[in-house]
């Protein structure tokens, strides 16, 4: 009996924690700021969706972590959801009795209107009841079989995504006639996504996902029975289709989407370099933005037609020099910290990044680097009279550079040097005892990783046409490290996925701009709970954290059971 009371107490305390999270995002202004973006006209906006997701999460966690049957799971979800709603109800009551704006500037009447469904203090019971209902829905999600939960989740996710990006999608689907115009008229109205269009999207994605799940084993079985040559051809066709989609994105999405894609590409280049140091070699680097700055300043000094230009080279001639300079900087950076490990290594690398920025900003080097005024008049890349004048053109340089750097990183990962990095990552002492020269291996990791970031800095200089020291602050290094963790440490596709998730998504959702790092922190916490290996983990990490067996190995039970054990 005492154990049961403790179990239900944990359900209530968990719901109150989710309620505190709902109160927090409300008081920091996220609910009101995101409420301006309507998901479905007349149904829900982004601010209310955020509160809804918190309630669903409370019910899901309560049912997932408890035993018992269906009724017990639903009761757990109801209790956790009601506790979450009680947190918001308490805020509503307090706000009606006390003027909270003296302490919390975002505790505005508009916020309380959103929370109370427009009923003010009279909406307190409704808030608790709504939390209970949402908690039950979250608990019910854990009880559905995978064949039902998967398609439902896909349909809901697709509807939310289309609602979030409805303005951008309507721009992409502009046209008086044709397929794009027909799709736009079928789903959207001029004001946005109506309930009818949301239902159509949900049903189509739900049916398509269910059909795919039912036919996927058949398709995989058919492919596995084909000759190796046919399998390679099918993989090549899939790759070509993906490349074709990427190539038409700038033209289809316009200038804003191209700008976001270039930014994602630059962070991908930096992520590939830092992933080599952190993911492959296990060397934590918090000053990685320094190499990005070195690449940008090298190209700027060699190509600028302004006051601080020294050679007036073309972009293509300056890029190899920027790579070499960044490579040498990586070697020099690695020399003083060869014997440092752990937290001390993080502090040392953090200092290096700040030193580079402050040197570029200093008056002592101003005659050469321009100080706070920076380097101006950096020309655009040019090939045969064609100028890469804007993001829509520079995107292709970023794409080719990212593909080339990813290819080099993959070859390095599978090489003898890559295996030495991974051995050093696991245990430096054992690696050294096995005959690995730690000095050479560490210096190569810092140097090659720095060269990858220098490539990104070179493209960044050409994109902006100017370079300023304030563009290379510590937060860039933190962003790059965060995207590697979210994507998957040591995973090359994970770097791209992390860049899209942590860089591309906040850029497309400008309402996130004031809460970017709050979202980063929440994403990292959720990642550690839900997918500790990352969104796209490396094969070795999957085997280590998720206890997955190599392909063809004999297993004794489902992966989920082994991971839980």
Residues 192 and 295 in one domain: no
Residues 441 and 499 in one domain: yes
Residue 560: pLDDT band (50, 70, 90) is very low
**Residue 72 token pair:** 């017990």
Residues 318 and 183 in one domain: no
* Confidence at residue 553, expressed as pLDDT on a 0 to 100 scale: 43
**Domain encompassing residue 73:** 2-216
**Would you give the DSSP letter of residue 318?**
H
**Does residue 565 lie within any of the structural domains?**
no
Q: Is 189 helix (H, G, I), strand (E, B) or coil?
A: strand
Q: pTM for the whole thing?
A: 0.82
Residues 302 and 438 in one domain: yes
Residue 1: pLDDT band (50, 70, 90) is very low
**Does residue 225 lie within any of the structural domains?**
no
Residues 208 and 290 in one domain: no
**Does residue 276 lie within any of the structural domains?**
yes
Expressed in percent and rounded to 5, the helix, strand and coil fractions of the chain are: 75, 0, 20
**Residue 434 token pair:** 């096995």
Q: Which segments within 380-435 are labelled E, that is strand? A: 382-383, 386-387
**Does residue 407 lie within any of the structural domains?**
yes
Counted domains in the chain: 2
Residue 555 Cα to chain centre, angstroms:
33
Quick: pLDDT tens for 88-142: 999 999 888 888 887 888 888 888 888 888 887 788 899 999 999 999 999 998 8
**Does residue 241 lie within any of the structural domains?**
no
**Does residue 228 lie within any of the structural domains?**
no
**DSSP output for 501-542:** IIIIHHHH-GGGGGGHHHHHHHHHHHHHHH-TT-SS--HHHH
Residues 399 and 466 in one domain: yes
Check whether 228 has a pLDDT greater than 90.
Answer: no
Check whether 253 has a pLDDT greater than 60.
Answer: yes
* Tally of residues, the chain: 565
Which of 216, 244, 279 represents a domain boundary (last residue)? 216
Residues 198 and 276 in one domain: no
328 or 122, greater pLDDT = 328
Give the N- to C-terminal CA distance of the chain in Å, as an integer.
26
Check whether 170 has a pLDDT greater than 50.
Answer: yes
Quick: pLDDT tens for 280-311: 998 988 989 999 999 999 999 999 988 888 88
Check whether 517 has a pLDDT greater than 80.
Answer: no
The single residue listed with the structure tokens 């100017």 is: 466
Percent of the chain with pLDDT over 70: 93
**Does residue 266 lie within any of the structural domains?**
yes
**Does residue 456 lie within any of the structural domains?**
yes
Check whether 192 has a pLDDT greater than 70.
Answer: yes
Residues 178 and 260 in one domain: no
Q: How far apart are CA 494 and CA 393, in angstroms?
A: 25
Q: How far apart are CA 501 and CA 459, in angstroms?
A: 21
List Cβ neighbours of 480 (8 Å cut-off, separation of 6 or more): 267, 270, 271, 274, 288, 289
> Of the spans 163-167, 175-179, 181-185, 496-500, which averages the highest pLDDT?
496-500
Cα–Cα–Cα angle for 203, 207, 211, rounded to 5 degrees: 170
Tell me the backbone φ, ψ of residue 375, rounded to 5 degrees.
Answer: -110, 125
Q: How far apart are CA 1 and CA 420, in angstroms?
A: 55
Residue 11 Cα to chain centre, angstroms:
30
Residue 516: pLDDT band (50, 70, 90) is confident
Angle between helical axes of 228-275 and 391-413 (0-180°, round to 10): 100
Burial track 80-104 (b if 16+ CB lie within 10 A, e otherwise) = bbbbbbbbbbbbbeebeeeebeeeb
* Confidence at residue 545, expressed as pLDDT on a 0 to 100 scale: 64
Quick: pLDDT tens for 357-392: 899 888 888 888 888 888 998 999 998 888 898 899
Angle between helical axes of 228-275 and 492-499 (0-180°, round to 10): 70
Residues 333 and 185 in one domain: no
Check whether 321 has a pLDDT greater than 80.
Answer: yes
Q: Is 387 helix (H, G, I), strand (E, B) or coil?
A: strand
Residue 557: pLDDT band (50, 70, 90) is very low
Residues 415 and 481 in one domain: yes
Distances (CA, A) of 218 to 148, 211, 229: 19, 11, 20
Residues 461 and 508 in one domain: yes
**Residue 391 token pair:** 């993001």
Averaged pLDDT, 154-159: 93
For 245-310, the three-class secondary structure string (H helix, E strand, C coil) is HHHHHHHHHHHHHHHHHHHHHHHHHHHHHHHHHHHHCCCCCCCCHHHHHHHHHHHHHHHCCCCCCC
Q: CA 331, 332, 336, 341 torsion: positive or negative?
A: negative
Residue 558: pLDDT band (50, 70, 90) is very low
* Confidence at residue 230, expressed as pLDDT on a 0 to 100 scale: 86
Which of 190, 216, 242 represents a domain boundary (last residue)? 216
Residues 265 and 408 in one domain: yes
């Amino acid at each position: 009996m005492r154990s049961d009371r403790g179990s239900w107490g944990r359900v209530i305390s968990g719901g109150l924690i989710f309620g505190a999270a709902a109160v927090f995002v409300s008081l920091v202004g996220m609910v009101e700021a995101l409420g301006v973006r309507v998901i479905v006209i007349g149904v829900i906006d982004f601010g209310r969706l955020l509160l809804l997701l918190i309630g669903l999460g409370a019910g899901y966690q309560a049912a997932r972590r408890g035993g018992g049957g269906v009724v017990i799971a639903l009761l757990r979800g109801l209790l956790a959801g009601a506790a979450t709603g009680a947190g918001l109800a308490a805020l509503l009551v307090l706000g009606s009795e006390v003027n909270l704006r003296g302490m919390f500037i975002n505790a505005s009447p508009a916020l309380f209107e959103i929370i109370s469904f427009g009923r003010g203090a009279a909406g307190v019971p409704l808030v608790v009841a709504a939390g209970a209902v949402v908690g039950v829905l979250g608990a019910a999600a854990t009880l559905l079989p995978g064949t039902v939960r998967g398609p439902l989740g896909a349909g809901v996710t697709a509807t939310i995504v289309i609602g979030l990006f409805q303005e951008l999608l309507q721009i992409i689907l502009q046209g008086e006639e044709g397929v794009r115009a027909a799709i736009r008229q079928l789903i959207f109205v001029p004001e946005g996504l109506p309930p009818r269009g949301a239902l159509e999207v949900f049903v189509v994605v739900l049916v398509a996902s269910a059909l795919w799940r039912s036919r996927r084993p058949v398709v995989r079985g058919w492919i596995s029975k084909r000759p190796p040559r046919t399998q390679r051809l099918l993989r090549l066709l899939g790759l070509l289709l993906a490349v074709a989609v990427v190539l038409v994105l700038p033209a289809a999405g316009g200038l804003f989407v191209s700008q976001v894609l270039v930014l994602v590409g630059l962070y991908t280049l930096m992520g590939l370099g830092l992933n080599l140091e952190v993911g492959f070699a296990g060397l934590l680097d918090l000053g990685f933005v320094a190499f990005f700055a070195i690449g940008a300043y090298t190209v700027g000094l060699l190509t600028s037609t302004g006051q601080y230009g020294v050679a007036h080279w073309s972009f293509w001639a300056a890029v190899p020099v920027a790579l070499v300079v960044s490579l040498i900087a990586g070697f020099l950076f690695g020399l003083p910290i060869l014997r440092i490990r752990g937290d001390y290594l993080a502090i040392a690398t953090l200092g290096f990044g700040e030193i580079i920025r402050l040197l570029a900003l200093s008056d002592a080097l101003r005659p050469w680097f321009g100080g706070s005024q920076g380097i101006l008049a950096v020309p655009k890349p040019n090939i045969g009279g064609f100028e890469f004048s804007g993001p829509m053109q520079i995107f292709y340089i970023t794409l080719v550079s990212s593909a080339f750097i990813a290819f080099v990183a993959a070859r390095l990962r599978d090489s003898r040097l890559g295996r030495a990095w991974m051995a050093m990552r696991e245990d430096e002492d054992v690696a050294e005892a096995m005959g690995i020269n730690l000095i050479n291996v560490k210096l190569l990791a810092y140097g090659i990783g720095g060269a990858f970031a220098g490539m990104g800095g070179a493209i960044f200089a050409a994109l902006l046409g100017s370079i300023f020291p304030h563009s290379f602050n510590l937060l860039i290094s933190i962003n790059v490290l965060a995207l590697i963790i979210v994507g998957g440490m040591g995973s090359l596709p994970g770097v791209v996925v992390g860049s899209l998730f942590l860089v591309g998504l906040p850029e497309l959702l400008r309402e996130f701009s004031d809460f970017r790092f709050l979202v980063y922190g929440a994403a990292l916490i959720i990642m550690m709970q839900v997918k500790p290996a990352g969104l796209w983990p490396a094969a070795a990490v999957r085997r280590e954290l998720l206890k997955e067996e190599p392909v063809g190995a004999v297993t004794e039970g489902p992966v989920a059971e082994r991971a839980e054990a």
